[in-house]
Amino acid sequence: MGDRYCLGDTDEIGTDRLLEIVQAMARRHVESQQAHQRLIEHTNETEKYLDNAAELLGEIVQSGQAYRECTDKGSATGLRVAAVLGYVAQFQPEAHQP
């Protein structure tokens, strides 16, 4: 019935071939775990940058002149700040309505 075998079919597929299959599966599992770990590290690093950006933006908001300059959508600084705010906003959790 097709090309499906179970572990008891070692006589048909051969012990060496079965070992190759299991080793390949083990390698893929390790590679998958490593990729997952890299993704977690990247996510943590991204969160750190976002936290730093949010803190910096908070400081900007608290300083009067800098705040006016940064919120002026006609200035290059204001456009950059608006772009950063838009980018950061997509990672913020949505506020729950009471």
**How high does pLDDT run on average in the chain?**
79
Residue 96, pLDDT > 60, answer no
pTM check: above 0.75: no
The per-residue pLDDT for range 15-58, each reduced to its tens digit, is 788 889 899 999 999 999 999 999 999 999 888 888 888 888 77
Dihedral over Cα of 14, 15, 18, 19: its sign = negative
More confident residue, 83 or 70: 83
What's CA 17's distance to the chain center, in Å?
37
Which pLDDT belongs to residue 1? 45
pLDDT given at position 78: 80
Crossing angle of the two packed helices 15-62 and 76-89, in degrees rounded to 10: 130
Distance set, CA 4 to CA 14, 15, 23, 78, 96 (Å) = 14, 16, 18, 62, 50
Predicted confidence band at 98 (pLDDT cuts at 50, 70, 90)? low
Helices (H), the chain: 10-13, 15-62, 64-71, 76-89
Rounded (10°) CA dihedral 75, 79, 81, 83: 180
Give domain limits for the chain: 11-89
The single-letter code of the amino acid at 17 is R
